[in-house]
Amino acid sequence: MINYQQLRMTSWGVLVALPMLVSAQSATTQRVDFGQQEFQSRCAACHGRDGKGNGPIADLLRKSPPDLTLLSRSNGGIFPMSRVYDSIIGDDVKAHGSRDMPVWGQVYRLRAGEHYADTYYDPEAYVRIRVLAVVEYINRLQVANRP
């Protein structure tokens, strides 16, 4: 025989405890920083984990990677978002001459094809999301925004 009063008390106990369990879990769960993740996996080898141009392979390059923490300072205190975006995506490639930095826009477009195989997708949305996340992270790396 079912004891309805005991069932009711147990149900109330679960209803009261559930929000506490959920909030305790969310307090201990760390938020994933997508921009930082992309930067560390794509950019840190050359630019360093801190963006100062001191990555583990920086000495092997013909041209030293720039210190990304000084972009705002060298641009009158304003973060050059469009220039950084174009540099990452590869839109700043000149008609002649080589480019020291990989064209991440092409890399992301290839990855979009692999990631969304057999589905309808807009590869440019995939590319923009990743590049904008990196740009936003680089903006957070800026030292005091004074010229």
DSSP-assigned letters across all residues of the chain: ---HHHHHHHHHHHHHHHHHHHHHHHHHSPPP-HHHHHHHHHTHHHH-TTSSS--TTGGGSSSPPP-GGGTTGGGTTS--HHHHHHHHHTTT--SSS--SS--HHHHHHHHHHHHTTTS---HHHHHHHHHHHHHHHHHHT------
Q: Which region among 10-14, 44-48, 62-66, 140-144 has the lowest average model confidence (pLDDT)?
A: 10-14
Q: What is the pTM of this model?
A: 0.73
Predicted confidence (pLDDT) per residue in 35-57, tens digit: 999 999 999 999 999 999 999 99
Q: pLDDT tens-digit profile of 61-115?
A: 999 999 999 999 999 999 999 999 999 998 665 544 567 788 898 899 888 888 7
Q: Which of the two residues, 49 and 17, has the higher pLDDT score?
A: 49
